[in-house]
Amino acid sequence: MPILNEIRFDNVRGDLFGGVTAAIIALPMALAFGVASGAGPAAGLYGAVLVGLFAALFGGTPTLISEPTGPMTVVMTAIIAHLVAANPEQGMAMAFTVVMLAGILQMVFGALKLGHYVTMMPYTVISGFMTGIGMILIVLQLGPFLGHATPPGGVIGTIGAIPAMIADIQPAETALAIFTFGLIALFPKRLIRLLPPQLLALVAGTLLSVFLLANVDIRQIGEIPTGLPALQMPVFTASQWQLMVIDAAVLAVLGSIDALLTSVIAESMTRKEHSSNKELFGQGMGNLASGLFGGIPGAGATMGTVVNIQTGGRSALSGLTRALLLMVVVLWAAPLTSHIPLAVLAGIALKVGVDIIDWSFLRRAHRVSSKAAMIMYGVIALTVFVDLITAVALGVFVANVLTIERMVRLQSRSMKTIEHRDVSNDLTHDEQTLLQQAKGRILVFALGGPLIFGVAKAISRQHAVLPDHEILILDFSEVPVLGVSSSLALETMILEDLSQKHPVFIVGAEGDVLQRLKTLGLIDALPVEYIVTTRQAALEKATQLLERSHSGDRAGAPPVGASREVAA
């Protein structure tokens, strides 16, 4: 696998145009997210440059545009607020250390080839925490939207301060924020490819504040230092270390999910397969570099990626172009942004929060499934009022428990005890004839589907009510997977029959299922003639065994119960 991402020069015009367009969109978003996070606009620009540059160089999705995103900004905001409150002198440096740790964890995820598993979460959980993040972003922008600094205390603190902020509203700043939000929301979709509405809103809002509201005191982002950012060495305290690692894990998992979901979108648009594990490595490199130079974390950005592809981007050259253009802004043009009103950035960030909310699923979740809707609403509440990792962990746990319960119910129905009196469509005419000839002395226990751990209880229940029989046939023909718990339940069933001198036949066990039975010693406990490939072969051998047992002629065949001593 090559180290660098796919950088081609057979589509230079398209890649350059895609990169330029993505950079134009990234500039206002980077400034807005930098201010929203509490790290400052410069940190947003550094994050946009460094995450985008390294992800484009070392990632696994050629057309992916990586930069600070709404979900990552929400988590970073909480991290900065907590660490600065706990340690005012070193809190910000510790927050950048968390970003570095998150990058390292993402690289570890890639090295361990976890890319295929990162996004294997129920849609209800993904929808719930993305909607919750959107709501958090909206709430945190209410302060700047109304002309105030963001109140301390996160979501709860902001909600509690809303009456006071409304009573002391700053009309000019609120008007600018409403103008910005409305311009982006109402901008004609057919013109988005020609002119990004975020950039138009940024420029128009700034010009309004400079020329029409020059006599009004409007808060601005101020001077952004030009030149290369200072190196931020890792800083941590022993008392905060555990919390920092947890915060880094949240950032790493969220960033990985965000990036890989966007990679899937890019893959569907370009019909070009991406490498998820390589992408995680590139995302980790980008966040490590961003933290080292005082930037906020980022991930694959859906808006930038879609625009990049739609305007011609086909290789990582577009992402590199975007990063280099933003670097020019950081190095030489940053003073031009000093007059941008904070209210304009609040309007941009508020629109991002509204867009993150999964409105489509919110409107119809209760019609799709009441249980799914409850999971989603629970994840939203936990995300907004508790924390993201608790929301995701509990959401995944509940969703998996419900899924397992449903699978167990279906698997239980697929397990059948077939007697001579049954007329089963699962048996051929010859098999039914052989079973009827045995007159209840042979019992077929047919298993089906993956026997996961939840099925073990159903197997034990079936075992407890098995009809009287002299020979047991266990049919594994339709079993692709045999879990440990289910295999132990079957072991109990087999050994009990053997202890009662009832021969047991194993049918159709192969691959991993056969290996699991061998590991438990069950294959060695049975005569080799009792391990067969088809149910008819087992019925024929069992019928012959009964006939010889009945006639007293056991020559040439293993006696009934011959394997008991071995099993014991």
Give tens-digit pLDDT for 433-467: 888 888 888 888 888 888 877 788 888 888 887 88
Reported confidence tier of residue 191, pLDDT bands at 50, 70, 90: confident
Q: What angle do CA 561, 563, 568 make, to 5 degrees?
A: 105
| Number of Cβ within a 10 Å radius of residue 58 | 21
Question: Bridge-partner residues for 443, per DSSP?
Answer: 472
Indicate the DSSP class of residue 236: -
Higher pLDDT: 500 or 6? It is: 500
DSSP calls for 424-481: -TTS-HHHHHHHHHHTTSEEEEEEES-B-GGGHHHHHHHHHTPPP-SEEEEEEEE-S-
Q: Classify each residue of 111-136 as buried b or exposed e, where b means 16 or more C-beta atoms within 10 Å of its C-beta.
A: eeebbeebbebbebbbbbbbbbbbbb
* HEC letters along 476-544: EEECCCECHHHHHHHHHHHHHHHHCCCCEEEECCCHHHHHHHHHCCCCCCCCHHHEECCHHHHHHHHHH
Name the average pLDDT for the chain. 87
What pLDDT is stored for residue 472 in this prediction? 92
Average pLDDT over residues 357-383: 90
Domain ranges of the chain: 12-140+149-357+364-402, 415-567
What pLDDT is stored for residue 298 in this prediction? 96
Residue 172 has pLDDT above 50, yes or no: yes
**68: closest CA among 263, 265, 301, 350?**
301
Cα–Cα distance for residue pair 84/154, rounded to 1 Å: 13
Tokens encoding 293: 């130079």
Higher pLDDT: 224 or 341? It is: 341
pTM, to two decimals: 0.77
Indicate the DSSP class of residue 113: T
Is 315 within 8 Å of 278 (Cβ atoms)?
A: no
| Number of Cβ within a 10 Å radius of residue 474 | 23
Reported confidence tier of residue 425, pLDDT bands at 50, 70, 90: low
The helix/strand/coil state of 421 is coil
**181: closest CA among 165, 201, 199?**
201
Residue 494 has pLDDT above 70, yes or no: yes
Tokens encoding 163: 């009456």
Question: Bridge-partner residues for 451, per DSSP?
Answer: 482
Q: Pairing mode, if any, of strands 531-532 and 504-507?
A: parallel
Tokens encoding 382: 């936990």
Q: What are phi and psi of 445, to 5 degrees?
A: -110, 100
Average pLDDT over residues 99-127: 89
Is 297 within 8 Å of 72 (Cβ atoms)?
A: yes
Question: Bridge-partner residues for 507, per DSSP?
Answer: 475, 532
Q: What are phi and psi of 58, to 5 degrees?
A: -115, 0
Average pLDDT over residues 499-507: 92
Give tens-digit pLDDT for 281-303: 999 999 999 999 999 999 999 88
Give tens-digit pLDDT for 201-213: 999 999 999 888 8
Is 377 within 8 Å of 128 (Cβ atoms)?
A: yes
Instruction: Name the residue with tokens 């309007």.
Output: 347
What pLDDT is stored for residue 357 in this prediction? 92
Q: Across the chain, how many H-helices and E-strands are there?
A: 24, 7
Average pLDDT over residues 470-477: 91
Tokens encoding 173: 């700043």
Average pLDDT over residues 483-492: 90
What pLDDT is stored for residue 230 in this prediction? 82
Q: Classify each residue of 331-346 as buried b or exposed e, where b means 16 or more C-beta atoms within 10 Å of its C-beta.
A: eeebeebeebbbbbbb
Q: Pairing mode, if any, of strands 299-300 and 66-67?
A: antiparallel
Cα–Cα distance for residue pair 184/438, rounded to 1 Å: 78
100-114, 250-264, 374-388, 452-466: the lowest-pLDDT one: 452-466
Residue 563 has pLDDT above 50, yes or no: no
Tokens encoding 335: 């003073």
Instruction: Name the residue with tokens 């690289």.
Output: 107
* Percent above pLDDT 90 for the chain: 45
Q: Pairing mode, if any, of strands 416-418 and 299-300?
A: unpaired
CATH superfamily of 415-567: STAS domain (3.30.750.24)
What pLDDT is stored for residue 239 in this prediction? 81
Indicate the DSSP class of residue 112: T
Residue type, 88: P
Cα–Cα distance for residue pair 107/278, rounded to 1 Å: 9
Highest mean pLDDT among 170-184, 220-234, 239-253, 329-343: 170-184
Question: Bridge-partner residues for 417, per DSSP?
Answer: 445
What pLDDT is stored for residue 561 in this prediction? 47
